[in-house]
Amino acid sequence: MSDIDSFKFSDAGRTRCDEIIARYPDGRQQSAVIPLLDLAQRECGGWLPTAALEHVAECLGMAKIRVLEVASFYSMFNLEPVGKNFIQLCRTTPCWLRGSDDLRDVAKEVTGCALGQTSDDGVFTVVEVECLGACCNAPMVQINDEYYEDLTAENFRKVLEAFKRGETPESGSQAGRSGSAPTDGLTSLTGMGAD
């Protein structure tokens, strides 16, 4: 695991930390470990160095190993530095059947890094993950905190090229549908009132 020398929450982070801990009943403050790890990861640029894990343990009065156990169990926590844009390619069956292999190829071409790697310029990290929960809008990827759904090789290339230019493209369906509505329009409940 990579490391930085020290970590303490920023003033705003410490205030947020106290607010999170206050949500839990007395004697159950350690239940705040996941939201505090998320807060620390955001303050560390997308990953959790040992110093951040130790600081979360201090804040919660937990053994450091228990915090590491939580951080290493959940895939949402990164124990190594990641690029500015953390791309998670869903590879579960619905996404795979609808073209996630093509998305992987586009990601490699546009970002210049293979799966599990960070681009030389630090702009992208690309990883494969299991289900991200948007199967109706497959294939999809998560980039940082946003979902990009209904992807094709072409529209995914446009999304990545926008990130490469420093822009943040609109998230959600890239096919223009609302939520997971049928792509061919409504098939039921198409009118109001009784017939």
Q: Is the pLDDT of residue 2 over 60?
A: no
169: tokens are: 């493209």
Name the nearest CA neighbour of 160 among 75, 103, 95, 81.
103
Q: What percent of the chain has pLDDT over 90?
A: 84
pLDDT digits (tens, 9 = 90+) for 150-180: 999 999 999 999 999 999 999 999 998 888 7
Mean pLDDT of 78-102: 94
Residue 46 neighbours by CB distance under 10 Å:
17
pLDDT digits (tens, 9 = 90+) for 38-86: 999 999 999 999 999 999 999 999 999 999 999 999 988 999 999 999 9
Q: Does domain 11-73 have CATH number 1.10.10?
A: yes
What are the residue boundaries of the structural domains of the chain, listed by start?
11-73, 85-173
3-state helix, strand, coil in the chain (%, to 5): 40, 10, 45
DSSP string for 102-155: HHHHHHHHHHS--TTEE-TTSSEEEEEES--S-GGG-S-EEETTEEEES--HHH
**Protein fold of 85-173:** Glutaredoxin (3.40.30)
pLDDT of residue 181: 78
d(CA 13, CA 43): 8
